[in-house]
């Protein structure tokens, strides 16, 4: 993307995405669902480059939820292979790219090779100063919060923390997103309007934007349309309008 092509509005710090509609996109073309996911992967890779070019700080994408394990084995395999490819391509491209990559979600159910690639990628891109691209993989908000509650309970039992020391900040520090600011804007493609167990703690004051565009067709211009709408909103965080 050349910066001169589009007028860039003021950007929020963190945009989180649902990449919804890959299956329907493929279906409309008489293609297998796997072709939809592949086109979806191409779309997010391009969007990451574009978001880095315009100076966005954080972009999070929901790649695979804790509930997605219910999908047919073949589809899961296919999605995991796209993640492998993404990690391998990032490896090749990382010298030129200034994007920092982080993964949120559980790692114990992922294949060992994927976990190794994730760790390598996070380590290699740790000091990059451009966009932070966060991939939510085997991520589920309820499981994330439950896990944090368990860990906090363990600390209380051990006597390391007193119950009255459990603040919202403390809980946040036990989530996968402890080093990531809460999303300012959450975009869901494909016309669906629900949260699907995504960033439920972190979205408390996020602004929501729904687009009818199916994910493989989603481009920077759609994201900027959402940002323009976001810029016209008044965020009160439970307070009153000043």
The catalytic residue positions are 20, 68
Nearest in space to 62 (alpha carbons), one of 107, 106, 18, 114: 18
Give CA 179 to chain center in angstroms.
14
Pick 41 or 114: Cβ nearer ligand FPP: 41
37 binds ligand FPP (CB under 6 A): yes
Asked whether 104 and 139 are in contact (CB, 8 A), the reply is: yes
**d(C-alpha 77, C-alpha 37), whole Å:** 12
23 binds ligand FPP (CB under 6 A): yes
In the numeric block, which tokens belong to residue 14? Answer: 């963190």
135 binds ligand FPP (CB under 6 A): yes
Nearest in space to 228 (alpha carbons), one of 5, 60, 80, 10: 10
Binding window for ligand FPP (CB under 6 A); candidates: 19-27, 107-115, 201-209, 229-237: 19-27
| Given 8, 24, 80, 210, the residue binding ligand FPP (CB under 6 A) | 24
**d(C-alpha 123, C-alpha 128), whole Å:** 10
> Least distance to ligand FPP from the beta carbon of 117, Å?
12
Nearest in space to 59 (alpha carbons), one of 229, 220, 237: 220
Asked whether 200 and 142 are in contact (CB, 8 A), the reply is: yes
Question: Could you say which residues in the range 43-62 bind ligand FPP, by CB under 6 A?
Answer: 44, 61
Pick 40 or 105: Cβ nearer ligand FPP: 40
14 binds ligand FPP (CB under 6 A): no
| Given 14, 15, 22, 35, the residue binding ligand FPP (CB under 6 A) | 22
Contact residues for ligand FPP, defined by CB under 6 A: 19-24, 37, 40-41, 44, 61, 63, 68, 79, 82-83, 86, 135, 190
């Amino acid at each position: 993307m050349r910066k001169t092509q589009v007028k860039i509005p003021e950007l929020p710090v963190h945009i989180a995405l649902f990449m919804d509609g890959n299956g329907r996109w493929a279906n409309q073309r008489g293609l297998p669902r796997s072709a939809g996911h592949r086109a979806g992967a191409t779309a997010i890779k391009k969007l990451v480059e574009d978001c880095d070019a315009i100076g966005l700080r954080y972009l999070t994408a929901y790649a695979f939820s804790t509930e997605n394990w219910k999908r047919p084995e073949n589809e899961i395999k296919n999605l995991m292979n796209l993640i492998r490819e993404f990690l391998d391509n990032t490896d090749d491209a990382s010298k030129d790219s200034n994007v920092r990559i982080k993964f949120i979600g559980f790692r114990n159910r992922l294949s060992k090779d994927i976990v190794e690639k994730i760790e390598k990628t996070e380590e290699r891109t740790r000091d990059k100063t451009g966009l932070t691209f966060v991939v939510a993989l085997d991520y589920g908000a309820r499981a994330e919060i439950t896990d944090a509650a368990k860990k906090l309970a363990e600390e209380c039992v051990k006597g390391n923390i007193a119950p009255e020391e459990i603040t919202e900040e403390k809980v946040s520090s036990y989530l996968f997103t402890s080093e990531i600011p809460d999303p300012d804007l959450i975009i869901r493609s494909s016309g669906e309007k629900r949260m699907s167990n995504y960033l439920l703690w972190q979205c408390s004051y996020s602004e929501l934007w729904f687009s009818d565009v199916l994910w493989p067709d989603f481009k920077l211009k759609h994201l900027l349309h959402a940002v323009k709408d976001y810029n016209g909103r008044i965020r009160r965080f439970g307070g009153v309008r000043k």
